[in-house]
Amino acid sequence: MADSVRNSVIDNVRRFLSNKNNLNVLKLELKDYFFITLGVAIYAFGVNIFMLPYGLTTGGVIGIATILYYLTEWNVDTTYFIINVCLLIVAVKTLGLKFCLKTIYGVVCMTLTLRVFQHLIADVGADGHLVFPRLLGDETFMACVLGGITDGIGLYLCFANNGSTGGTDIIAAIVNKYKQMSLGSVILACDIIIISSCYPAFHDWFRVIFGFVLMFICSFTLDYCLNKTNQSVQFLIFSRNPKKIADAIVKTGRGVTMLDGEGWYTHSERKVLMSIVRKNEQMYIQRLIKSIDPYAFVSLTNANSVWGEGFDQMKIKAENQQKNKRTLVFASNSTHKLNEVRAILGEKYDIRSLDDIGCRIEVPRITGSIQENALLKARFIKRYYGFDCIADDTALECDALGGLPGIYSTSYVSINDEEVLSGSKAVLHSEQYNDELSVEMLNILHTSPDAKAVSISHDDVKGNVDKLLKNLQGKDRSARIHTAVALVTGEYIDPKKNETHIFDGMLEGTIAEQPSSEPKFFYDSVFIPKGYTQTYDELGVDVKNQISQRAIAIGKLKDFFEKKV
């Protein structure tokens, strides 16, 4: 039994390590933990070398712990750990498990490094208390400066690698997640009260002043380091070989925009490349340009506050009427569908059409089920336009026709029924879909949205209805309409990393002998819902919105949103 468990674990580890993506993720995680450990060690070093020997107090939990240490001789590491455990219990829901795991690691690591440095640096006095040596003599102000710089660098290494040392860092990370406020500024605001409390405790204004000096230097150092690494530059590249340079930059993971230009001196057409990259990528891009075209004309400018994919996110307050609304794109321009979705979801949601986001193409429906078709459309919008998206696909399934029209409902008149039914890939009924992305789907998702979409003949509503009625003559007329609604959300543009959900709605019914009106939308003129004697067209929009299969699916989507709130 033990051997089988051990072999199973070994096999799982081997499979994990054989995947290159898993290895890259593992390397990044190990890098994060290494720098969090280094940052925590630097911070703990500053506390024990510059703060405790000179009776200095900073902000945060360390500040509270040092005040209690000066008053009661309680160990700084113990007090720090107890307070952070209380804060972390509250923080898990807000910051997410990944952040909190690294924060927990940072808190434990800080507790241990504080204890280790105390035993390495301090001596035990005659009264049994720790005595810290003053390495800078009586230069308390210099201790403030060096302590602030050291602590700021330690905090930077933690924050830059998705970690935290706990305390007010947790509060700062929560605020920074939702507001356009720097981490240093938030920590500064939170810590003023803590440092000010030194005066009622010790009645020593110098201790308060030195505490504020240390805090300001620490905050300035943290902001400087974070902003330095997050600075961006904008390249304007004028070259006679623009395509090769553009391809080379794209391979680095950065985007390029190619603009049309004209050299006014020569009156010849030129291509101008524009690319924005991080400051630390500048030299590499410059070398790349020079290796391809050493005679290129290049303009480089600083780009402050770059927002978008691969850079920072905009964190500003929305207008009052939009502040409490969730924006969703519904992957359609059908006024009928949009009104139905907006009516069901209500005022809490800002539902936008494809036209509203500037999408002018049609995503091809080429998969084996309506669920996959809906997912493909929603993933495409998320991939190229960034919005959380809902998309739908609908099929009419007739028992007497072996499930047809099925996924071919909008192009029924153009298919050969016998060929479809005999094909091995035909999935016409409401079967379980496969969420794996096929190579064909990935090719679509990674194709430029400006490219010409696959041409599909569909929406010949009258032709579809006429063929359906002809094929059902003398046969069982029971049928159902099935709508699948796909929701794609998440921070990632990579379709493999999206969060996806499927909501199905199904309505049983029958097919009428003759259309109730001139066919204009789907099979509304011939489909009679179960429990009714009139077609969708005759029932009217209000009734249809209450009972339709799409209303059922969108209702499930709404319930899903409300449960997550």
Instruction: For 7-28, give the secondary structure using H, E and C.
Output: HHHHHHHHHHHHCHHHHHHHHH
Q: Summarize pLDDT for 334-352 with one digit per residue, the tens.
A: 888 888 889 888 888 999 9
Beta-strand runs (E) in 171-324: 232-238, 257-263, 268-278, 297-303
Positive or negative: CA dihedral 546, 547, 552, 553: negative
Does pLDDT of 313 surpass 90? Answer: no
What are the b/e assignments for 79-106, b being 16+ CB within 10 Å? bbbebbeebbeebeeebeeebbebbbbb
- What number is the average pLDDT over the span 28-44? 87
More reliable by pLDDT, 73 or 151: 151
Pairing of strands 405-406, 389-398: antiparallel
| Closest of 213, 158, 162 to residue 191, by C-alpha | 213
How far apart are alpha carbons 308 and 426 in whole angstroms? 41
DSSP 49: I
CATH number of the structural domain 326-564: 3.90.950.10
CB 461 within 8 A of CB 348: no
First to last CA, the chain: 45
Whole-number average pLDDT of the chain: 79
Does pLDDT of 294 surpass 90? Answer: no
| Structure-token pair, residue 82 | 């107890």
Q: Which stretches within 238-395 are classed as H helix? A: 242-251, 282-292, 335-345, 370-385
CB 508 within 8 A of CB 547: no
Q: Summarize pLDDT for 45-99 with one digit per residue, the tens.
A: 988 888 888 888 877 778 888 888 887 878 888 888 888 777 777 666 666 665 5
What is the pTM (predicted TM-score) of this model? 0.54
Does pLDDT of 424 surpass 60? Answer: no
Report the side by side order of strands in the sheet with 232-238.
257-263, 268-278, 232-238, 297-303
How far apart are alpha carbons 204 and 89 in whole angstroms? 35
Enumerate residues 6+ apart whose C-beta is below 8 A from 520. 461
The pLDDT value given to residue 174: 66
Catalytic residues: 393
User: Domain residue spans in the chain?
Assistant: 16-229, 231-303, 326-564
What is the CA 290 to chain-centroid distance, rounded?
35
| Closest of 351, 359, 306 to residue 329, by C-alpha | 351
How far apart are alpha carbons 210 and 466 in whole angstroms? 87
> Which contacts (CB < 8 Å, 24+ apart) does range 70-73 have?
70/201, 70/202, 71/201, 73/129
Q: How many CA atoms lie within 13 A of 345 on its CB side?
A: 24
The pLDDT value given to residue 552: 92
Q: How many CA atoms lie within 13 A of 399 on its CB side?
A: 10
* DSSP per position, 523-559: TTTTEEETT-SS-HHHH-HHHHHHHSHHHHHHHHHHH
Name which CATH class applies to 231-303.
alpha beta
Does pLDDT of 141 surpass 50? Answer: yes
How far apart are alpha carbons 86 and 451 in whole angstroms? 54
Determine which helix (DSSP H) or strand (DSSP E) holds 158, and give its type and residue range: helix 140-160
Listed range (185-199, 214-228, 244-258) with the worst mean pLDDT? 185-199
How far apart are alpha carbons 321 and 317 in whole angstroms? 11
